[in-house]
Amino acid sequence: MSSSVLPDREQLLTLAHEVGLDAAALVRRERPEGRVAVAATKSSPIDVVTEVDRASEDLVRDRILAARPDDGFVGEEGADVAGTSGVDWVVDPIDGTVNFVYGIPAYAVSIAARVTDATGERVVAGFVVNIASGERWGAVLDGGAWRWDGDRRVPLRAPEPPPLSQALVGTGFNYVREVREHQAAAAARLLPHVRDIRRIGSAALDLCALAEGRLDAYVEQGLHPWDLAAGGLVAREAGVLVEGLDGPPDLRLVMAAHPALAGEYFDLVRTCGF
């Protein structure tokens, strides 16, 4: 960081919360009835972006950088800005775009603040709001995770999980055909060993679901930082272990579970070939 003063994590969360709610309101307002038109495609013909994704990202970037002009910005839709403060905002303006297009009520704004200094890079604040339902989750590093109930923040602690054979596992599939063929084969090997698999369609919401016990475990390959940053912090601060192939989670693998399940579950994930 160029400054020796570390940013206050609660203040970063407060900013993420304010801006995230405004972005969610914009997305709700701008969503037409029925199926939403696709504006462009990205990694493959089924990886879509709409004008509302872009408008949401513009709002989040403009509002955050107006409040903290020296910070950097990394957004899913590519409106990146290099900063000088050591704080970068990692943002998915609509996580669950396919659900948004079809009107399935599981799509979210995901906003995280990531600090880089001499000791490395870490997400220090994260906020996720389900745009359709209004449910909100947030976390600060080493400070806890919450869901909002009106103005009240209710602390989150991931509940004790069931045995692996009764675990409900969230997952997702990449937009690139070769990657999803691999994922589908691994998921088919996983399925007989667990209660069931859910493909909700928003990684940020999956990770918040894990934090509050709506899922017992999670696995996905090909997640980008904006899919993972805020929800990953919410899950970790609620006591969930979030790991990757050989250390921190990354594009290659994200697997997550309560510590009481993690050893056995992570072994199973590897055995299944994820």
Contacts with ligand IPD, residue ranges (CB under 6 A): 76, 92, 95-97, 172-174, 201-203, 220, 222-223, 227
Rounded to the nearest whole angstrom, what is the least distance from the CB of residue 151 to ligand IPD in the complex?
A: 28
Which residue is closest to ligand IPD by CB? 172
Residue 100 or 146: which CB sits closer to ligand IPD? 100
Tell me how far, at minimum, the Cβ of 233 lies from ligand IPD, in Å.
16
When the beta carbons of 86 and 172 are compared against ligand IPD, the nearer one is 172
CB of 94 to ligand IPD, least distance (A): 6
Closer CB to ligand IPD, 115 or 230, in the complex: 230
In the 3-class helix/strand/coil scheme, how is the chain assigned residue by residue? Answer: CCCCCCCCHHHHHHHHHHHHHHHHHHHHHHCCCCCCCCCEECCCCCCEECHHHHHHHHHHHHHHHHHCCCCEEEECCCCCECCCCCEEEEEEEEECHHHHHHCCCCCEEEEEEEEEECCEEEEEEEEEEECCCCCEEEEECCCEEEEEECCEEEECCCCCCCCHHHCEEEECCCCCHHHHHHHHHHHHHHHHHCCEEECCCCHHHHHHHHHCCCCCEEEECCCCHHHHHHHHHHHHHCCCEEECCCCCCECCEEEEECHHHHHHHHHHHHHCCC
- Choose between 7 and 170: whose C-beta lies nearer to ligand IPD: 170
Of 86 and 130, nearer to ligand IPD (C-beta) is 130
* Closest CB 6 distance from ligand IPD, rounded Å: 30
Minimum gap (Å) between residue 1 Cβ and ligand IPD: 29
